[in-house]
Chain A
Amino acid sequence: MCLAIPGRLESREDTYPFPTGVADFGGIRKQVCLAFVPEAAVGDYVLVHVGYAISSIDEAEALRTLEVLRAMDVVETELAGGPS
């Protein structure tokens, strides 16, 4: 129940009282309330919990974290004298 799932905003509508949109979760589409991320634009990734977007996800940040992890991999491999 605590899970929040990242989805890609496919469309948005300025419904009353809260804006809503449809997000794509790897093929499954669901209606999402955008009350808490009103600035989310079509194409953005949002973290959705029980039908409400609670945060936008920074894709660049996600990729950067992976780069850091990979760089560590390289350094580690180097220090260990090759892949283990």
Chain B
Amino acid sequence: MTSSRTIAVIVPAKDEAAVIRHVLLRIPRQIDGMAVISIVVDDGSSDATAAVATDCGAYVLRHLTNLGVGAATRTGLRAALTLGANIIVTMDGDGQHDPEEIERLVRCLVEGPFDVVIGSRLLTPHGMPKVRVAANLVMNAVTFVVYRKIVSDSQSGFKAFTRGAAEKLELRSRGYEICSEIVGEIYRKGLRYKSLPVKAVYTAYSQGKGQHFLNGVNLLIELFIRLLRRV
């Protein structure tokens, strides 16, 4: 267990050995006197992701086989709560999010009065491919239909939670649909949230690792099934 106030940064990762060092080493060690720890959930990688993350001083949890980013995030949330984290941040391991922006998300949460801060790529979508902007707007609409909550970037994996909010989340998703499910939980649990503009770093690597068209189709199917379950 950690003793003082702690911020846990969860990084779900699969086969990210090439970039994860760059991501982890740029995560601030301290924010406003609070210690920052990194938790990498290695989601069945076949490369040296876990070894590199361990080398960077992160807590590393390993899934024996690939379960999906949703399951990895859930494992990370449990680990962060076990470690006694007061604030929990989730971010992608492919370098799409700028670790230096963690500070802004955390400060927004600390200054309050919010339970969740969502890093929104769509509030200032400069440099974001138009196809991605369109796809994310469609997913915002689908998320609204399924979960009755509209946010500016429902598919953002860059979020900050207070401990209380993280404890309230009841998540079941295994895949990318976890982002929409979290939006649903914000609505269901009456959590106070704010969308904060963040920049998305689109490199050839992160675009290759991001959601593909078929993942999008799977995501829509998963959300459709959830909609049916609600009826």
Q: Report whether chain A binds chain B.
A: no
Q: Could you tell me which A residues sit within 8 Å of B by CB distance?
A: none
Q: Could you tell me which B residues sit within 8 Å of A by CB distance?
A: none
